[in-house]
């Protein structure tokens, strides 16, 4: 997919997983949401590195004040 904002998005993308969707946020969000997950940009760096993108993990981090 061609994305006019890809280079700008990549400057803000914190995802460390090698993926063809990096920088194409609409595709990234759609892909994760289909699996009932959130993309890396919703997680702080130390949590992102776990590759656990589950909503339950996000809520756990939020409740512990990590987000």
**Which pTM value belongs to this model?**
0.84
Residue 56 φ/ψ, nearest 5 degrees: -65, -35
Distance from chain centroid for Cα 61: 15
Question: What's the sign of the alpha-carbon dihedral 19, 34, 63, 12?
Answer: positive
Residues of the chain where predicted confidence (pLDDT) is lower than 50: none
């Amino acid at each position: 997919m061609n994305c006019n904002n890809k280079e700008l998005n990549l400057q803000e993308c914190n995802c460390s997983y090698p993926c063809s969707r990096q920088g194409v946020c609409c595709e990234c969000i759609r892909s994760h949401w289909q699996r009932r997950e959130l993309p890396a940009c919703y997680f702080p760096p130390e949590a992102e590195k776990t590759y656990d993108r589950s909503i339950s993990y996000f809520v756990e981090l939020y409740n512990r004040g990590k987000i």
